Chains A and B, each alone.
Chain A
Amino acid sequence: MTTNIGTWIGAICTLAMFSFLVKENKVFRTFQHLYVGVAAGYGIVFQWNSIKNVAWDPLTKKGDMLWIVPIILGLLLFTRFIRGYQWISRWPLAFLMGLGAGLSMKAIESDFVRQVQASLVSLTTLDNIIVVVGTVTALAYFYFTLKPSKTLSGASMIGRYVLMMTFGAAFGNAVMGRISLLIGQMQFLFGDWILLIKK
């Protein structure tokens, strides 16, 4: 076994979380709270460092007064905790929503135009045929404007199977991902901690 204290702490935390597999217990709950607390503390430190480096230092050390605006907007978000002044927090929120909406407009090119372009392919290979048929029939499944004709119903049914295959692939990947996470923890426990796995 390793003598590294950090690895020991990590291994104890991992085993405590794994104890949930047997049944819900106090050890699991204690370490769960510890995890939430550590994660919150870690996040706050990094967020504060970022505010200090990006906004506070330029404002106080270089006199870059423009940083007052985002700092005040950020502080106004906390007014939602002051009874009677909650409405003020809507201003920075409105600003953030406007900013978010503006930035997402770029999706028209990246997620719409480029994806439509990529679907306009010559039907010369099986892959291309699957892409076109899959896209058109999946869209047909969500087409509710017209009364379904025989053709539309047929396309819609194929679209349903295309969607089911997509969900199947997504589920398969989800399983694979979870196994990878288990492998990662097994490598840590039996490789880094117990030193049973050769590197």
Chain B
Amino acid sequence: MRALGNVDRRILYVVLILAVLYPLIRPLGLPFRVSDWTLNFYKAVDKMQAGETMLMSIDYSVSGGPDVHPQAQAVFKHALSKKVKVVFVAFVTEGVEFANQMIAVAEKDGGKYGEDFANLGFVPGVEVAISAFAQDILKVYPKDVRGNVTADLPIMKGIKTAGDFKLITEYATGIPGPAEWIRQVQTRYKVPIACGVVTVMGPQNEPYYQSGQIVGLLSGLRSAAEYEIAMKMPGAATAAMDAQSMGHVAIVLFVVLGNIAYLSEKGKKGGR
């Protein structure tokens, strides 16, 4: 039991990596259900009409990308399948490149930049920038990432303020996040907002969902997988769910074995 309590942490890393890797190579097909948070996000996008415009604010960093990027990819795919136009913005520098990656894939599939989607790029200032953007989009973004004059893009016809979007979706790994968007945009323009966040931020943003301030909430990779299932288009996130489950099993096992070792040692020392 003492050996179990003093196991080298590197062995734990190897076990965890193998637990995650095996189901990625040989999927197990473990079932999971779609939560209400995800379903309502899906419904908010699904009820949009062809030709309407949605905003996607890509505010996640590279470090949290694997947790949030699959959410944005799934929502963008869904929007394109509904012929909904998508405008990308970013208040975190890395967001620009994530948006460019998604646009590159969509262009390969025949989408037209400037008509079906556009990337307006990054603006510094976090909450102040969001507030300014909401009031006058063309002033904050005079040009897009490709150097086009924003006002000349066909997709921007009739879009002057944040209130002109039918739906705003925000993806975040920190600040800015749902709180900033709700404060500066939702309270003033009453436009529906749906948010996708890194798993750690899920519980702290749930009150906004419960109060109806956001119409949907995606929390981490699991929500991305749920969204893919809701779309009936399983992708990379769905494939990762077996690995997620096996990773959790490994961690629970570590916790249980660690506690057994601890309690056994404590018993030998007379409960002290």
Residues of chain A having any CB pair with chain B under 8 Å: 21-22, 42-43, 46-47, 49-50, 53-54, 57-58, 99-100, 103-104, 106-107, 109-111, 114-115, 117-118, 131, 166, 169-170, 173-177, 179-187, 190-191, 196-197, 199
Contacts and interface: CB of A to CB of B under 8 A. Distances in A.
B179 A111 contact: yes
B210 A199 contact: no
B24 A181 contact: no
A136 B70 CA distance: 37
Interface residues of B, number: 57
B100 interface: no
A54 B210 contact: no
Nearest to B204: A170
Contacts of A100: 127-128
Nearest to B130: A103
Interface of B: 10, 13, 16-17, 20-21, 24-25, 63-67, 93-94, 96, 121-124, 127-128, 131, 139-143, 179, 182-184, 186-188, 198-200, 202-204, 207, 210-213, 219-222, 236, 240, 243-244, 247-248, 251
B24 A103 contact: no
Nearest to A62: B142
27 contacts: A46-B96, A47-B93, A53-B143, A58-B142, A104-B183, A110-B186, A111-B179, A115-B207, A115-B211, A170-B200, A176-B199, A176-B248, A177-B220, A180-B199, A180-B244, A181-B66, A182-B16, A184-B67, A184-B221, A185-B66, A186-B17, A186-B20, A186-B24, A186-B243, A187-B24, A187-B236, A191-B24
B248 A179 contact: yes
Contacts of A99: 128
Question: Which label, helix, strand, loop or mixed, suits the secondary structure of the A interface?
Answer: helix
